[in-house]
Amino acid sequence: MPQAHMEETGLEGAGPARTDSGAPALQSRLDRWRRQWQGPGIWRRGVVLAVLAGLLGLLMLIHADLPNKVGNLGSLTETFLPWLGLFVPVLLALALWRRSATALIALLLPAVAWVNLFGGLLTDKSGKGGNFTVATHNVNAQNPDPARTARAVAASGADVVALEELSDASRYEKAMAGTYKYHSVQGTVGVWSKYPLTDAGPVDIKMGWTRALRATVQTPQGPVAVYVAHLPSVRVKFNAGFTAGQRDNSAQALGQAIAHEPVKKVVLLGDLNGTMNDRSLAPVTSQLRSAQGAAGDGFGFSWPASFPMARIDQIMVRGMDPVSAWTLPATPSDHLPVAARVKV
């Protein structure tokens, strides 16, 4: 019995001994962590990270002043401007790893700059109501299933649908005929409408062939001028930078056409091969309001469809209020269709 009592006593004593030894170890680690974040070292470490954070913030703040004379650097930066925000959490992790107060404070500049530029896109601004729904889709000239693509866009319930990059318009005309009574195809762009179309014709955007049109949609609320445009493609080349000269010239011509539009209510649908941030599209974007920016949910990236990185498919209006905007499910195209509902 005494022996058993001694064994039980030994077992009972083992637990508290381990607990007592663990508590000082934890306290020791906490003390060491506090010491690492104390003293002058936290201000001397991470100077390079602080400089990178400052440059990142400065780039966001002065992006509009970056020159376009060399490789269209300004437009290239503005095309992918939202993605600069990804560097903020990377630099934050490195600053914490280096235990640098200097870098952490410097990170406030790019963080605040990014939120100022794009924070409004993080919330859902869509509302209810509206009486006119439009959709646009670059269907891709090599689309393997035009009928399926046409039906998918028509399923959005849009009153007006714009399609770009039509290599064989007849296949889309056949697929859309059951839903849309009126349509017009000019070159490689087309518009389909549930309401009568008048004054349909091409718009010269200085390309040598037709990639833009204008038509008047006779809605129950009155006439709406609809423009459909597919601006020239842009390329990023190692020896030339961001080659967008032809697109910029076409944007200038499209902007002039819209500026002389006599109808008060205007909607522009199409693939502009540029984002709303791109200064080179200012001849167009300065006259119209982005439906996605005003009434969308998120960034509304539309290209490439497999991993959208930029919103180059645009719906813009004048004389009407956007109510909601959204991207549609992917089709066999390399672009996502986009749609918006507005109040005429």
How far, in Å, CA of 296 to CA of 315, rounded?
11
Going by C-beta distance under 8 Å and a sequence separation of 6 or more, which residues neighbour residue 31?
Answer: none
The percentage of the chain sitting over the pLDDT mark of 90, rounded to a whole number, equals 77
For the stretch 277-305, pLDDT in tens is: 999 999 999 999 999 999 999 999 999 99
Cα angle, residue 155 at apex, residues 152 and 159 outer, rounded to 5°: 120
pLDDT at 19 over 70: no
How far, in Å, CA of 326 to CA of 302, rounded?
10
Amino acid at 165: E
Region 265-270: mean pLDDT is 98
User: CB count, 10 Å around CB of 258?
Assistant: 21
pLDDT at 18 over 90: no
Task: Quote the tokens at residue 319.
Answer: 């004389």
Would you say 52 and 91 are in contact if contact means Cβ atoms under 8 Å apart?
A: yes
Q: Which residue has the tokens 């000019």?
A: 186
For the stretch 95-133, pLDDT in tens is: 999 889 999 999 999 999 999 999 999 889 999 999 999
Region 64-75: mean pLDDT is 83
pLDDT at 67 over 50: yes
Cα torsion 162, 327, 86, 290: sign: positive
CATH fold of 132-343 reads Deoxyribonuclease I; Chain A (3.60.10)
Going by C-beta distance under 8 Å and a sequence separation of 6 or more, which residues neighbour residue 319?
Answer: 264, 265, 266
Better pLDDT: 301 or 20: 301
Of the given ranges (28-42, 137-151, 166-180, 188-202), which has the lowest mean pLDDT? 28-42
Give helix 169-176 / helix 146-154 axis angle, nearest 10°: 40
For the stretch 70-93, pLDDT in tens is: 778 888 899 999 999 999 999 999
Pinpoint the alpha helices (H) of 205-339. Answer: 245-259, 282-285, 291-295
For the stretch 132-187, pLDDT in tens is: 999 999 999 999 999 999 999 999 999 999 999 999 999 999 999 999 999 999 99
Residue spans of the domains in the chain: they are: 37-122, 132-343
Q: What is the pLDDT of residue 234?
A: 83
Q: Which residue has the tokens 């404070």?
A: 105
Amino acid at 322: P
Of the given ranges (25-34, 94-103, 235-244), which has the lowest mean pLDDT? 235-244
| Local confidence band at 35 (pLDDT 50, 70, 90 cut-offs) | low
How far, in Å, CA of 161 to CA of 152, rounded?
11
Tell me the whole-structure pTM to 2 decimals. Answer: 0.84
Mean pLDDT score of the chain: 89
Chain centroid offset of residue 306 CA: 14
For the stretch 133-144, pLDDT in tens is: 999 999 999 999
CA-nearest of 49, 116, 120 to 87 is 49
Would you say 195 and 222 are in contact if contact means Cβ atoms under 8 Å apart?
A: no
Q: What is the largest CA-CA distance in the chain?
A: 109
pLDDT at 14 over 60: no
How far, in Å, CA of 66 to CA of 241, rounded?
14
How far, in Å, CA of 142 to CA of 166, rounded?
9
Compute the half-sphere exposure of residue 202: CA atoms within 13 Å on the CB side of its CA. Answer: 12
Would you say 219 and 195 are in contact if contact means Cβ atoms under 8 Å apart?
A: yes
How far, in Å, CA of 114 to CA of 125, rounded?
19
Q: What is the pLDDT of residue 292?
A: 95
